[in-house]
Amino acid sequence: MQEKMTYSAAGVDIDRANSFVERIKPLIKGASRREVMSGIGGFGGLFHLDIGKNRDPILVSSTDGVGTKLKIAQMMDKHDTVGIDLVAMSVNDVIVQGAEPLFFLDYIATGKIHIETTVQIVEGVVRGCQEAGCALIGGETAEMPGFYPAGEYDLAGFCVGVVDADKLIDGSDIRVGDRIVGIASSGLHSNGFSLARRVLFDEGKLHPNDRVDGLEQPLGLELLKPTKIYVKPILNLIKNFNILGL
């Protein structure tokens, strides 16, 4: 008798995916705004844009990922901060044009959903959204057997923000003699990790668990410091100063 073909036989566990969704529903409630019109689970997230807050609103959007910093998270089996990185990479791109981030969506792709790992990722996404003041209104978790090596995953995020047309920051008014103000970063953020891994691990023969002089924690944890989210301090600067470029 021919064996019945099912999603689970093909490596896609619908029940596990549903269990994951139930686990993250309470978390996502912590990253909301009053304009959000729907919970997760629908085909599209609903957000009521309050145009009364802006005279001439422009929507600013950005999409990005975490890159090969994920390799270090997977080597360290530490997944609770890469979600912060994911949010930061998009909301920081939105805020540099003066736009307040409104909402965020995430995409998690993996060969097999490991619930605890994936919940940790979403916990980080929620923390990032809270720090940026935007809502997490949806996302996708794709289980793709045979596509990713065991234990590996990739992340992508998408953010939309809003700014008044006369407040848009595009650098066009920058002139010689303008003051430049530097804001301290938290490290590498989520850029340049392919080179960093090459220098530290391949050429330097170091391991993520190694202790390095001058660092208070293992090298891997130092590299996993979350990307700093600049939204709130920059919004505060915009309210008080004429910012020409970021």
pLDDT tens per residue across span 18-54 = 888 888 888 999 999 999 997 777 788 999 998 888 8
pLDDT tens per residue across span 63-103 = 999 999 999 999 999 999 999 999 999 999 999 999 999 99
How many structural domains does the chain have? 1
What pLDDT does 7 receive?
65
The chain-wide mean pLDDT, for the chain, equals 92
Assess if residue 143 is contained within a domain. Answer: yes
Q: Is the pLDDT of residue 244 over 80?
A: yes
DSSP 228: P
pLDDT tens per residue across span 200-218 = 999 999 999 999 998 889 9
Q: How confident is the model at residue 1 (pLDDT cuts 50, 70, 90)?
A: very low
Assess if residue 19 is contained within a domain. Answer: yes
Q: Do the Cβ atoms of 93 and 104 come closer than 8 Å?
A: no
Cα–Cα distance for residue pair 42/198, rounded to 1 Å: 42
Assess if residue 218 is contained within a domain. Answer: yes
Assess if residue 162 is contained within a domain. Answer: yes
Assess if residue 8 is contained within a domain. Answer: no
Assess if residue 160 is contained within a domain. Answer: yes
Model pTM score: 0.92
Averaged pLDDT for residues 225-241: 95
What pLDDT does 16 receive?
80
Assess if residue 245 is contained within a domain. Answer: no
Residue spans of beta strands (DSSP E) within 146-207? 153-164
Residues in contact with 194: Cβ distance below 8 Å, sequence separation at least 6, in sequence order: 67, 68
What pLDDT does 3 receive?
61
Assess if residue 65 is contained within a domain. Answer: yes
Cα–Cα distance for residue pair 198/220, rounded to 1 Å: 14
Q: Is the pLDDT of residue 9 over 60?
A: yes
pLDDT tens per residue across span 150-172 = 999 999 999 999 999 999 999 99
CATH label of the domain that carries residue 74: 3.30.1330.10
Token pair for 103:
């909402």
Q: Is the pLDDT of residue 2 over 60?
A: no
Q: How confident is the model at residue 124 (pLDDT cuts 50, 70, 90)?
A: very high
Q: Is the pLDDT of residue 188 over 90?
A: no
Q: Is the pLDDT of residue 8 over 80?
A: no
Q: Do the Cβ atoms of 159 and 62 come closer than 8 Å?
A: yes
Length of the chain: 246
Residue 99 sits in which domain range? Answer: 14-240
